[in-house]
Each structure stands twice: as C-alpha cells, then as structure tokens.
Amino acid sequence: MVHTQKMGLIWFIPILYLLFSPSSAEIAAKPGVNYGQLGNNLPHPKKSVELIKSLKAGRVKIYDANPKILKALANTNIQVSIMVPNEIITAMAPNQSLADEWVRSNVVPFYPKTMIRYLLVGNEILSQPDNVTWFNLVPAMRRIRKSLVFYKLKKIKVGTPLAMDCLEASFPPSSGKFRSSVSESVIKPLLQFIHRTKSFFFIDVYTYFAWVPDPVNIKLDYALLQPNVSTYTDPVTGLMYTNLLEQMLDALYFAMKDAGYPDIRLFIAETGWPNGGDIDQIGANIYNAAIYNRNVIKRFTEKPPRGTPLKPFVVLPSFIFALYNENQKTGAGTERHFGLLYPNGTNIYEIDLSGKTALSEFKKPLPVPTNNEPFKGKIWCVAARGANTTALAGALSFACGQGNSTCDPIQRGGKCFKPDSLTWHASYAFSSYWAQFKKSGGSCYFNGLATQTAKNPSFGSCKFPSVTL
C-alpha cells in the first residue's frame, strides 16, 4: 500500500460526537493484559496477579478458566475475561446441559469476588482449519449466554475473539469485507448475537503482521503509531489515517457496515509487538515493542477518546499481548517474545498500562534496534544448547524421514557422519530440512529443539545447507 506524505486538518467536527458517544459512556478504556500460560518457567498465579497490578492493568484476559488464577484475582478490582476452550465448542453447541455445567463449574464459584466481565467462546476459531467448529461457534455462544442468564449473571458479556483474517478485503479501509466463505453462515449470526446482547466484536489486531510482508511501502513508524510520520487517505471516503492500526480497525467497521451492522462496538482482544524473534524476522526487537505498546496505550487512554476516522470519540477497550515471554509457544521465534515481562517477573522495558505515565517520563534507555532492515546473508538451523537427548533423537528421525536425501551426508561413511554425535547429526538434519522445506512452510523450531544461527557450523568437508535471505 502507498502512504501519501501530507498532513491535513481534523476532518470531523464535534457534532459527530453525538452520533458515536453512546457506547463510550458504557465502558471505560482501562487497557489490560493477556495472561498466557504457555511457559514452564512462569511465576505462581498469586505472584502474577501482583505483577499485573504493578503494570496498572485495568483488565486481564486468560485463555481458560484456571481456578488458581481466578482465585488470585478475587477482590482485586481487575476486570477479568475467561475463555471456553476451542475443543468443546462443537459438543456444547447442541447441548445446553454441557454449557450449564461449564458455567456452574468455571464462573459461579468465583463470581462476584472475581470480577468476571467477559466470557469468550473459543479463540480465533475462523483461523483454524476445523471448519466444523466454525458453524458451531455462534450456537455455543447462545448456549453460554442462556446459562449466564439462568444463573443471573447477565452482566457478563459473551463474545469470541477473531483474527484479522476474518476479512477478505481490508485495503483501502472502505473496501472492508468479511470472508465470503463465512459471511452468511457465521459472521452475520455472530453480529446479530452481539447486537442483541449488547456485547462486542472482539478482534486480535497486530500492525506488526501487516507491516512485515511489505516493509518498503508501509513505513515502520506508521505501523508503530509514531506521530507525524505519514498519512494515508482512503480514495473512496476521503478519510485520512495517521497510523496503520486505525486503517485496520476501520476496515473492520466497514466490513460490519457491509454486513448490515454498522453500530457494533469493537474490543481489542489482542494487540502488541514482539520484543524478539528469529534472525529472519524483521523488526522484532525491544525498542519497537516498547514504542508500539507505549503509543497504543496512550492512544487507547486519550481523553476525550479519539476513536478512529470512521468512528471518532468511541472508546476502544483493549488487552495488550502479553504478560510474559512464553517459552512453550510453538512456531516462529516472535511467538515466544511478546511479553511485557520476562518469566522472572522483571520488566523487559518500562510500561504503564494505565496510560498515566507520559512518554517522556520513561527514563531507562531502550536498546538500539539492529534488525529493522531484512537480514541479508545465510542462516543455518542447529540443535539448541541443552536440548533433551530423547526428544532430539525423535526430531532427528522426523527431519530425516521427509525424504529428498535430507540426511544422506550423515549416514555412516558420509561427509558429515563424523563426529558421530546426536547433536551434530541433528544440527545437520535440521539445517538440511529447513533449507529444503522453508518455502513450503517448514520451520527451524522442532518443538524448541532448534535455533537459527548466522555462524556457519560447517566443518572440514562437511558443508551444512543454509537458507539465504
């Protein structure tokens, strides 16, 4: 996409406040944090709740209904969002008694001491390949809502967080449209449910993942919400955007308008920026993460609320992703580096989720970013230091089992057989596998057993395959 380098006057006048303010009066900004638990080195829930308080979070979202966490959050005045796991949605959709039992076990014992305010059914369901669950999503939400009414818990809003891939068009924002494969069968019933129950459209929105594929045309500062860097004007509506987040949110508003529900409220279920990642992942660093999250918190806590160009003055409630760097998350390195805190509870960078700390008041210098430009050179994939030997042997078998002569050189008599060690053979196999299968989705991860390196591990006549960027 192209950003025009021009500034303009505010194009909305205060009278429009009357058109969009009702939802603002019903909910406060109170940025919160997503408390993921996919780590084997995370603090106890009681300690975690103290850390959440220290970040001045107004809300917390967990990805289950962990009773230890819910007990630790009792009497804290922190609003809480809990989640029905994806795996039981299909079974719950036709079964009211299952929904009743879930609410009775996971909500009733903790409410109201724990301020459960949102009950999310599933997580990014439309991003999953299991399309059977897609069509059971809204029926399951109805079941949960009925259970909450039965137990006189009507203050708890029911929703489901979707990712931006629920859209099939998003640029320019005015072209926003939901995926045709789910628009009629899932999205419209979802919007009808949200409208009827006065809930929210929960969305996971990351400017990082929109910027990464096109860092030349999308300016990094535009994605980081830095002020006065560039603007984009929608050619259809004439609305002017000063950052990428506003564009993405308005694309959703336009999609909901296209679906017949122009007044649905948005709730940012996840947003954030990675503080680290793999060598081949551009822009994932502490500096950018701090700048983005500080800017987005400032943005969400402005008074009066600023909203978006299409929906000015509307409060955007939000959760920042995430509380910790989680070492057991799978996939690319960025997945394990979205935390505000290290697992030992120390800050990765200064942050105040209340938005009351001015940007100029953060005094600790941020490390200078070194990967804002794409890496140029060769990268190898080798066994991680301290990897479990049993698991490493299994990963070695997997890599060698993919064919294409992946492991021929480490067979007895091959150029890379010696030294005859598990770590050496696994490192060669990982590099060979990644070099061959990266373009088709292969990764240098192997359940945490592998890591990228820019240092050539080749030795003597043994030449390790590499990925060239």
Catalytic residues: 124, 270
- Which CATH number is 378-468's, of 3.40.190.10, 1.20.58.1040, 1.10.150.120, 3.10.20.30? 1.20.58.1040
Q: Residues 378-436: pLDDT tens digits?
A: 999 999 998 999 999 999 999 999 877 889 999 999 999 999 999 999 999 999 999 99
Rounded to the nearest 10 degrees, the angle between the axes of helix 131-150 and helix 188-197 is 10
Q: Residues 335-392: pLDDT tens digits?
A: 999 999 999 999 999 999 999 999 999 999 999 999 999 999 999 999 999 899 999 9
Domain ranges (residues) in the chain: 14-62+160-361, 378-468
pTM: 0.90
Give residue for tokens 């060239």.
Answer: 468
Could you say which architecture CATH assigns to the domain 14-62+160-361?
Alpha-Beta Barrel (3.20)
Q: Residues 83-122: pLDDT tens digits?
A: 999 999 999 999 999 999 999 999 999 999 999 999 999 9
The Cα–Cα gap between 283 and 465 comes to 26
Point out which residues pair with 271 in neighbouring strands. 320
Give every strand in the sheet of 450-453, ordered side by side: 450-453, 378-383, 467-468
Q: Residues 232-266: pLDDT tens digits?
A: 999 999 999 999 999 999 999 999 999 999 999 99
Ramachandran region, residue 405 (left: φ > 0; alpha: ψ -120 to 50; beta: rest): left
297 exposure class (CB count in 10 Å sphere: 0-12, 13-18, 19+): buried
Q: Residues 121-153: pLDDT tens digits?
A: 999 999 999 889 999 999 999 999 999 999 999
The Cα–Cα gap between 305 and 138 comes to 31
Mode of pairing for the β-strands spanning 378-383 and 450-453? antiparallel
Non-local (6+) Cβ contacts of 386 within 8 A are none
Nearest partner of 249 among 345, 346, 143, 171, judged by Cα: 171
How many CB atoms within 10 Å of residue 7? 10
Give every strand in the sheet of 200-204, ordered side by side: 157-159, 116-121, 79-84, 59-62, 32-35, 318-321, 265-271, 200-204, 161-163
158 exposure class (CB count in 10 Å sphere: 0-12, 13-18, 19+): buried
